[in-house]
Amino acid sequence: MMKFRENEEAVSPVIGVILMVAITVILAAVIAAFVFGMTGNVQTTKVVAVTVGQNGDDIVLTYQGGADAATLQYLTITVTKDGSSTDAVSYLWYDSTTKKTSTAPTTGDTPKILPVGTTTTITDSASPQQDHVVVAGHFADGSDHVVLNTYV
């Protein structure tokens, strides 16, 4: 009677070589990402809250604060009526003395921290249909982030 021997010696070396190649490829990709600066462009998300509502023909916006409230300089509010291409743009920010809601801050203006609960009314901006409201925040690091994108 003839006895057959199973040869299982090659299984472990093949798996070992596959694992070594996989580890080498992963390490090369990570090193290349750092060398070529692919990880340097990742931005963090800013967290602030804004609510919006409609009161007749007016749109009322309220700033609720958030984790990044200390770095928020001003809000830009854009309202698109009835899906038209014309937008009503307004700004909500604080300078050294008064609340400004109609013009953008200029280079010489020193924005203060926007107080939580600040409300602004954009008059005659609403229509009977749904209007698109986009609120973007401008932060102290120079970045702009959309903080609200909704319909009222």
49 DSSP β-pair partners: 65
Predicted TM-score (pTM) of the model is 0.64
Contacts of 73 (CB under 8 A, 6+ apart): 93, 105, 111, 114, 137, 138, 139, 140
- The domain limits of the chain are 8-42, 49-151
Q: Which two tokens stand for residue 69?
A: 């409230």
From first to last of its 152 residues, what are the pLDDT tens digits of the chain?
666 666 656 567 788 889 999 999 999 998 888 888 765 666 678 899 999 988 888 888 888 988 988 888 888 888 887 666 666 777 777 655 565 555 666 666 666 677 788 888 887 767 777 888 888 888 888 888 999 999 88
Q: Which two tokens stand for residue 97?
A: 């003395």
User: In this structure, which topology does domain 49-151 adopt according to CATH?
Assistant: Immunoglobulin-like (2.60.40)
What's residue 49's pLDDT? 92
Residue 73 in contact with residue 132, Cβ under 8 Å? no
What's residue 11's pLDDT? 64
